[in-house]
């Protein structure tokens, strides 16, 4: 059932709710796109994930089940979001690089992050991690998010 949720229900919900949210933020689109492009340029110049000054972690205002992943330029324009918003934004910033989406379950709940393959290994990019963590395999770095408290990991290749 969990795989059905991640593969079918969640994408449908995210798409429809994200489009509705985007329609309410159309005036902010240029700012969001500018922030994404500036971050892409910085990554291309440095080869590393930068500290994003304009991003803040924000608690889920919808309380979990009704939450949806915001469209990346909306998150960038707002400058905030929860873990799935940060994952989608990082994926948009890293377009053209090898990335994987990961969902990790622990006794503390679920967390979404993006895994980025670099010459140094796989890097976790998450709103929960201040400095990126690096490991040799995608599975290894995904398990670093909750450590021994990890119950399940879904990596989307």
Average confidence (pLDDT) over 67-89: 86
pLDDT (0 to 100) of residue 12: 66
Domain containing 25 — which CATH number? 3.10.620
Domain containing 110 equals: 2-156
Q: Please work out, in degrees rounded to the nearest 5, the angle formed at the alpha carbon of residue 14 by the alpha carbons of 81 and 102.
A: 70
Q: Report if pTM > 0.85.
A: no
Domain count, the chain: 1
pLDDT digits (tens, 9 = 90+) for 34-58: 999 999 999 999 999 888 877 776 6
pLDDT (0 to 100) of residue 57: 67
**Does the pLDDT value for residue 63 go beyond 60?**
no
pLDDT (0 to 100) of residue 83: 87
pLDDT (0 to 100) of residue 116: 96
């Amino acid at each position: 059932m969990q795989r059905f949720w991640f593969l079918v229900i969640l994408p449908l919900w995210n798409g429809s709710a994200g489009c509705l949210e985007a329609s309410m933020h159309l005036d902010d689109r240029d700012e969001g796109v500018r922030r994404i492009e500036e971050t892409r340029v910085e990554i291309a110049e440095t080869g590393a994930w930068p500290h994003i000054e304009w991003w803040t972690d924000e608690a889920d205002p919808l309380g979990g089940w009704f939450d949806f992943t915001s469209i990346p330029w909306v998150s960038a324009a707002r400058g905030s979001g929860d873990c799935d918003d940060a994952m989608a934004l990082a994926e948009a910033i890293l377009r053209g690089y090898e990335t994987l989406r990961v969902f990790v379950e622990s006794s503390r709940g679920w967390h979404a992050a993006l895994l980025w393959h670099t010459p140094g290994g796989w890097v976790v990019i998450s709103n929960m991690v201040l400095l990126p963590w690096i490991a040799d395999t995608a599975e290894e770095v995904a398990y670093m998010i909750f450590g021994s408290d990890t119950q399940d990991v879904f990596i989307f290749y």
